[in-house]
Amino acid sequence: MVTSDYLNDIKEIKHLMNKSSRFISLSGLSGIMAGMYALIGAWFAQRELQKVYQLQSSNYESGHYTSSADVTINLLIIAAIVVVLAIVTGIILTQRKARKNGEKMLDTSAIKLLINFLIPLATGGIFALIILQKGLVGLIAPITLIFYGLACVNASKFTLGHVKYLGFATIILGLIATQYVGYGLYFWAVGFGIFHIIYGGLMYFLMERTSK
Amino acid sequence: MSILMVNEFADFNMLKELLSITDGNLASHAKALEKVAYIKVEKQFIGRKPNTRYSATSLGRLEFKKHIEALEQLIKSSE
């Protein structure tokens, strides 16, 4: 028996292990797009927040009254739009990549990935809403970053392992953000925007470019 | 065995799809592995459809690890 046979054996084993447990069609492009949506969303959110500042400083001069509840709702709407756009784009791009690999998109490993990603994420989302209810608005941005990071770390076992690092970075950013309450939006923009663009870009160039 | 090492269990259809082999081929290999107690077979009904689930036994895991180590040794020694 030749060495190459043994090497092929090991390669085959590793391939089967990955194929059955990791979702390998996750597209790096979706990371870049998600990052861009986040940055755009942050820009709109910034404008919403400006309205609050203008309100407080202009008193009765402007007849246009935006209550802070409206602002909160608008911010939530912006956040929801960003998330939905990111998910939809992610699905479309990943489906394309899965078809290129000859894999079905929604197989066992994809479902496992989704469940493991969504558990910490949903928990974080609910927790953030609770925090909002309690009035600790300044902690919302750090909390969402931290839980999102935890979700990434957990999901990394079920897809490309590098997601772990995006997770770590986001967690650390979130923890740092707790010390700079008031700059939550900027941390959000960096964490969800810039980090994702960098991560998505790296993944795309490292993995998808070379296979063409 | 590779698939069962990293998944708690796998059912017949999942294995068939991942390995791209026929029903009969999979069945006979599974029987062989079951005979030496490397894997455990669970048959149940999901609704009205029969479902066969496989999982690796501790003996199976041990033997698989030994197999991998042996492969690595062989590769190293011929370099």
DSSP per-residue codes, A178-206: TTSTT-HHHHHIIIIIIHHHHHHHHHIII
Chain B residues whose beta carbon lies within 8 Å of the beta carbon of residue A7: 75
pTM: 0.68
Joined tokens for residue A25? 């069609």
Q: What is the CATH number of the domain that holds B7?
A: 1.10.10.10
Beta pairing partners, B56: B39
Among A13, A18, A111, the strongest candidate for a mutation testing the B interface, having the largest count of B CBs within 10 A, is A13
d(CA A3, CA A174): 49
**B20 in contact with A, Cβ within 8 Å:** no
pLDDT value, residue A62: 46
What order do you get walking across the sheet with B10-11 strand by strand? B10-11, B49-56, B39-46
- 3-state SS, residue B40: strand
**B73 in contact with A, Cβ within 8 Å:** no
Q: DSSP class of residue A189?
A: I
Beta-carbon separation of A16 and B18 below 8 A: yes
Q: pLDDT averaged over chain B? A: 83
Q: Which of A29, A14, A207 is nearest to A101 (CA)?
A: A207
d(CA A126, CA A81): 17
For residue B6, give how far its alpha carbon lies from the nearest alpha carbon of chain A (Å). 6
Strands (DSSP E) along chain B, which ranges? 10-11, 39-46, 49-56
Q: Is the pLDDT of residue A46 over 70?
A: yes
- 3-state SS, residue B9: coil
For the ranges A56-60, A73-77, A172-176, the maximum mean pLDDT occurs at A172-176
Contact B4, A13 (CB under 8 A): no
Q: pLDDT averaged over chain A? A: 77
Among A16, A101, A107, the strongest candidate for a mutation testing the B interface, having the largest count of B CBs within 10 A, is A16
For residue B50, give how far its alpha carbon lies from the nearest alpha carbon of chain A (Å). 19
| Total domain count, chain B | 1
Beta-carbon contacts below 8 Å between A and B: 37
* ipTM confidence score: 0.71
Residue B31's domain comprises 2-77
Estimate to the nearest angstrom the gap between the alpha carbon of A46 and the chain centroid.
19
pLDDT value, residue A68: 60
In Å, how far are A6, A7, A134, B76, B78 from A1, measured between CA atoms? 8, 11, 69, 14, 10
- 3-state SS, residue A105: coil
Nearest by CB: B2 against A3, A16, A108:
A16
